[in-house]
Amino acid sequence: MASDGGLKRRHNGASAESAGFPRMERTASMAAINECIRFLEQCPATTTDPNNSPINNIVPAPNFNGRTLEDFTILKQVGRGTYGEVYKAMDKVSHSTVALKKLLVNNCNEGYPVTALREIKIMQHLDHVNIASLDEIVPTAESVNGDDPVYLVMGYMDNDLTGVTKKYKMLLTPDYHRCYMKQLLEAIFYIHKNGVIHRDIKLANILVSNDGRLKLADWGLSRSWKPGQKYTTKVVTLWYRAPELLFNIAHYSTAIDMWSLGCIFVELLTGDAPFRGDTEADMLKRIFRLCGTPNEENWPGISQTPIFKEMKFDELPSILEDKYSKELQPLELDLLKQLLTLDPRKRITAKDALDHDYFWVSQVPKPSDLPPFYGEGSHEYELKLEAKSTLEKMPRFEQVHRDELERRGRNHTYKNMTFNRNTQNSGQPKNKTGQ
């Protein structure tokens, strides 16, 4: 056991404040948000006229605190997803910088997507310094129909973790790594303790301010969780997807979030994702090459799953320790091994991870202890646009390369001129059923 260096170990559910992180007061009007949620859930109405067209106005419009999109000045777009676009904006009243997430409604007959409603409800109930908070919901105009977009108003963060690891890679010392991991684990411990599973933890969904504060965001795929129930396995972006999901095991647990965290830990420390798979089958093969092939000894019961029976795998030992022993410190490597454990029942929990020696051999720096970053900040969306523009200007790229770039544009990264082949069809989680 490594020395605590005079520090007192804990994780019995203590708050973020007791861990040395400042508390941020919530400014959201919960009554107004509740009313907006009820309105969005009922839009469009199920009643139809004789021509079978939806009647969207039979639901009384909610009280949006009298504010609309006109009360904000949109500065630039910083993100885009399947059901929403994110903008950096300025509140004309308070002159504060905020993030506006536009909820897209592509078909008024279907109403607002279940992922958006779930995200609102979960953000409404989560209250933690390391979790992005929902401050307000505003409509485009004073009168709202079921097919009109609405905007979620949240605190703006200068970067996401993708932008930090790319733009400030040379500045990220072990102090940044430990501070970021501690804050992220505090957020994950909090949601797991409160029966919520995120199901899409990745660099782009982790927001970081220039002064070192971190918040877990994007709750569209998250949901309440209870042991023993079945859930859809088509969740989590492919590179961060746990092996139990790839084996289509529907009785999964909060351990899938911890696997994603292990993948993030590798990226944070080495600058490279550990599993760059193209398909689910390719992901399994890559995982087994690094972590070893599962069997009844290291993962009891795995041989009875249909996918394991159908596929043939070479018997491979784990090489995780050999691969990273030169890049990682011993405590970093030990925590990584426990995060990337094949059997989810043996995988380390957020509570136990917070008590790992990695965080206790010396004091973990507070965000205010870290040298701040300066400038506009950086997000994955902006990096992709920049990379796409750079590649398109290169004369040796013929039209066939441009077509390929367009096809993969949303998921490609500019690193040594390679493509992230995590395409939407094979890698982006879709969960239209709401499970």
Q: Which residues are catalytic?
A: 200
What's the CA gap between 249 and 304, in Å, rounded?
11
Residue found by looking up tokens 């092939």 in the block: 293
Q: 247 in helix, strand or coil?
A: coil
Omega into 429 within 30° of 0, i.e. cis? no
What's the CA gap between 171 and 341, in Å, rounded?
30
What's the CA gap between 203 and 381, in Å, rounded?
12
What's the CA gap between 185 and 350, in Å, rounded?
6
Residue found by looking up tokens 């380390």 in the block: 348
Span between the terminal Cα atoms of the chain, in Å: 42
Residue found by looking up tokens 């899409």 in the block: 200
Report DSSP state, residue 327. Answer: T
Cβ(284)–Cβ(338) below 8 Å: no
Q: 248 in helix, strand or coil?
A: coil
Cβ(131)–Cβ(207) below 8 Å: no
Pairing of strands 159-160, 150-155: unpaired
Best CA proximity match to 254, nearest among 338, 187, 198, 180: 198
Runs of H (alpha helix) within 194-254: 243-246
- CA 224 to each of CA 11, 118, 193, 254, 259: distance values in angstroms, whole numbers, following the listed order: 22, 10, 11, 10, 19
What's the CA gap between 70 and 91, in Å, rounded?
10
Report DSSP state, residue 38. Answer: H
What's the CA gap between 16 and 86, in Å, rounded?
27
340 — phi, psi (to 5°)?
-100, 45
Give residue 4's identity as a one-letter amino acid code. D
